[in-house]
């Protein structure tokens, strides 16, 4: 991370009064950013080694994150969308000794939002961050990411995206997510680009705040951003309903966190949103492959980033290279070749992700079905907040969380192109506000979806009998 902080100090010297990070009317200049980070890092040196970070998106989050990194602390970002039990688990599991922000927590002797100043200094080696994702259970494991992984990821992504000082990055995803930390904080600093926070757009993940997505992009006129598929769906819907057109300033909108429909990606490009789907996971510092300018193929997640090696073994994606995590907290070190648990294949040098290995459904007829395949068909429907295909008592059941009542015919039309063996037999409509159903990326919690399928009223979806193959 030495090169990263050298770049921060350089920005502070050469572009002192220019804005580095912005939130509403708050503008943090490069010189102010460097001074606050340096001063806070000095103060943090006297604090415990393991520090939690529970601030909302904004410049203060950036200052605290970079200060802890510079001080060589073990940083544990706390996702604001986690429940109380999950947060309690993170605090206990990671051994957090002090917290920056967060209700009921404080960092002894330090006001984290205070403008602290101090001389620029060399980075302290040994920084680690522990990333907890929502995972498939209520008690996820902590992923250990260090300087080596972050530096390699910054380098590879900088080459792939070609970030420059002229770029303006619009941040709409939670800063506690590793991918947003890299794209919205580390990459812009390395490039000398400006980041604008618009966390109000996050509500669109859960079907709220109609019109907000189109408005924030029209207002801030960014060149770059990172979206989950559900946010892109909300943006397209805003535009269809008379909202502002996509600004002509845009040059690169990355898509990640969940599978996206190729049809939706093409629709976005047709209306001026230059969207590029990628793939990654926290265990490999968030990005493994990415479509790029001049080499963009919807339906794939693009080519593997420089410095990484990806092979397919028994249908599973296996990653090796400098971005692979150190390991899980309280577990053995990670192997050099990380089996991701994702199924995929290559097409003309581009990676195609089929779905999670442990999500694979095997029907009574012996057919293998990736639920993401079916769910992707419904993801482009703005009236559907989330869907999940589950196997309930031997029956393929589609759990749909609509924003308003939907007729069966609308669901059937979206499934019409499926082969007979993959067509769901039952449909269960549920409230999108059902506790724990929708993850922050807009993907379903399948455990919750299955419980809802077992308890909520179901309708039969007519389908033909499968003939012998």
In whole angstroms, give the CA distance from residue 199 to residue 322: 31
Residue 169: give its domain's CATH number: 3.40.50.12780
DSSP 384-406: EEEEEEEEETTEEEEEEEESS--
10 shares its domain with 41: yes
Of the residues 140, 167, 187, which one is the last residue of a structural domain? 140
Q: Are 96 and 77 spatial neighbours (Cβ–Cβ below 8 Å)?
A: no
260 shares its domain with 317: yes
Could you tell me if residue 282 is inside a domain? yes
According to the model, what pLDDT value does residue 228 have? Answer: 87
In whole angstroms, give the CA distance from residue 133 to residue 138: 10
Q: Are 215 and 244 spatial neighbours (Cβ–Cβ below 8 Å)?
A: yes
Could you tell me if residue 424 is inside a domain? yes
Could you tell me if residue 134 is inside a domain? yes
In whole angstroms, give the CA distance from residue 114 to residue 131: 26
According to the model, what pLDDT value does residue 134 have? Answer: 64
Q: Which domain holds residue 14?
A: 1-140
Q: Which has the closest alpha carbon to 230: 397, 431, 375, 407?
A: 375
350 shares its domain with 216: yes
Residue 414: give its domain's CATH number: 3.30.300.30
Could you tell me if residue 467 is inside a domain? no
Could you tell me if residue 468 is inside a domain? no
293 shares its domain with 199: yes
Please tell me whether the overall predicted TM-score, pTM, comes out greater than 0.75 for this model. Answer: yes
Structure tokens, 330: 């309280």
Could you tell me if residue 10 is inside a domain? yes
In whole angstroms, give the CA distance from residue 357 to residue 340: 9
206 shares its domain with 341: yes
Could you tell me if residue 434 is inside a domain? yes
225 shares its domain with 295: yes
197 shares its domain with 344: yes
According to the model, what pLDDT value does residue 102 have? Answer: 63
200 shares its domain with 121: no
According to the model, what pLDDT value does residue 463 have? Answer: 64
374 shares its domain with 336: no
According to the model, what pLDDT value does residue 93 have? Answer: 92
According to the model, what pLDDT value does residue 99 have? Answer: 86
Q: Which long-range contacts (CB under 8 A, 24 or more apart) does 334-343 make?
A: 334/283, 338/283, 338/284, 339/313, 340/281, 340/283, 340/284, 340/316, 341/316, 342/279, 342/281, 342/316, 342/317, 343/315, 343/316, 343/317, 343/370
174 shares its domain with 115: no
The answer for 142, left when phi > 0, alpha when psi is -120 to 50, beta otherwise, is beta
Strand partners, 274: none
202 shares its domain with 220: yes
Structure tokens, 232: 């892109």
Structure tokens, 97: 């000794």
The answer for 128, left when phi > 0, alpha when psi is -120 to 50, beta otherwise, is beta
Number of domains into which the chain is organized:
3
Residues composing the chain:
469
Residue listed under structure tokens 């922050």: 440
Q: What is the pLDDT along the chain (469 residues), one digit of tens a residue?
A: 889 999 999 999 999 999 999 999 999 999 999 999 999 999 898 888 999 999 889 999 999 999 999 999 999 999 877 777 888 889 889 998 888 886 444 443 333 433 333 333 344 456 799 999 765 445 678 999 999 999 999 999 999 999 999 999 999 998 999 999 999 999 999 999 999 999 888 777 665 567 899 999 999 999 999 998 888 988 998 999 999 999 999 999 999 887 788 888 999 999 999 999 999 999 999 999 999 999 999 999 999 999 999 999 999 999 999 999 999 999 999 999 999 999 999 999 999 999 888 888 988 777 889 898 898 888 878 788 889 999 998 899 999 999 888 899 999 988 988 888 889 999 999 998 898 888 766 788 889 999 999 999 999 987 655 444 4
Strands 194-197 and 168-171: parallel
397 shares its domain with 349: no
Of the residues 84, 109, 140, which one is the last residue of a structural domain? 140
Give the H/E segment covering residue 254. strand 252-255
Could you tell me if residue 469 is inside a domain? no
Structure tokens, 355: 């779905």
Please, is 468 exposed, middle or buried when counting C-beta atoms within 10 Å of its C-beta (0-12, 13-18, 19+)?
A: exposed
Of the residues 140, 168, 187, which one is the last residue of a structural domain? 140
Q: Which has the closest alpha carbon to 210: 434, 408, 403?
A: 403
């Amino acid at each position: 991370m030495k090169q990263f902080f050298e770049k921060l100090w350089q920005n502070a010297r050469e572009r002192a009064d220019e804005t580095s990070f912005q939130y509403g009317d708050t503008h943090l200049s490069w010189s102010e950013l460097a001074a606050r980070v340096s001063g806070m890092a000095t103060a943090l040196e006297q604090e415990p080694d393991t520090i939690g970070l529970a601030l909302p998106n904004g410049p203060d989050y950036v200052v605290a994150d970079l200060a802890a990194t510079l001080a060589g602390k073990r940083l544990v970002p706390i996702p604001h969308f986690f429940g109380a039990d999950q947060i309690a688990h993170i605090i206990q599991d990671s051994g957090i000794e002090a917290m920056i922000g967060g209700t009921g927590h404080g960092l002894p002797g330090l006001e984290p939002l205070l403008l602290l100043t101090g001389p620029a200094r060399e980075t302290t080696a040994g920084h680690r961050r522990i990333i907890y994702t929502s995972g498939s259970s209520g008690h996820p494991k902590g992923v250990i990411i260090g300087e080596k992984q972050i530096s390699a990821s910054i380098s590879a992504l900088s080459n792939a995206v070609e970030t420059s000082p002229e770029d303006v990055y619009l941040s709409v995803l939670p800063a506690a997510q590793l991918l947003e930390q890299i794209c919205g904080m580390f990459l812009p600093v390395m490039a000398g680009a400006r980041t604008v926070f618009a966390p109000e757009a996050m509500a669109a993940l859960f079907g709220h705040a109609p019109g907000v997505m189109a408005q924030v992009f029209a207002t801030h006129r960014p060149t770059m951003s990172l979206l989950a598929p559900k946010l892109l769906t909300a943006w397209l819907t805003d535009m269809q309903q008379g909202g502002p057109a996509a600004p002509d300033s845009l040059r690169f909108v990355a898509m990640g966190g969940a599978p996206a429909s190729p049809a939706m990606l093409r629709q976005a490009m047709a209306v001026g949103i230059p969207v590029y789907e990628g793939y990654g996971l926290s265990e490999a510092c968030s990005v493994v492959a990415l479509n790029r300018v001049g080499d963009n193929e919807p339906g794939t997640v693009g080519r593997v980033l420089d410095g990484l090696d990806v092979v397919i073994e028994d249908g599973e994606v296996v990653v090796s290279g400098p971005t692979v995590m150190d390991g899980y907290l309280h577990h053995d070190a990670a192997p050099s070749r990380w089996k991701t648990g994702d199924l995929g294949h290559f097409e003309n040098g581009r990676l195609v992700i089929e779905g999670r290995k442990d999500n694979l459904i095997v029907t009574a007829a012996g057919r293998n079905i990736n639920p993401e395949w079916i769910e992707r068909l419904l993801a482009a429907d703005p009236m559907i907040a989330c869907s999940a295909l589950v196997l309930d008592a031997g029956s393929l059941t589609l759990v749909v969380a609509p924003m308003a009542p939907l007729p069966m015919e609308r669901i059937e039309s979206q499934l019409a192109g499926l082969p007979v063996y993959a067509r769901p037999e039952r449909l269960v409509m549920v409230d999108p506000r059902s506790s724990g159903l929708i993850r922050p990326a807009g993907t379903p919690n399948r455990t919750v979806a299955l419980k809802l399928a077992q308890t909520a009223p179901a309708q039969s979806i007519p389908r033909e009998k499968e003939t012998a193959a």
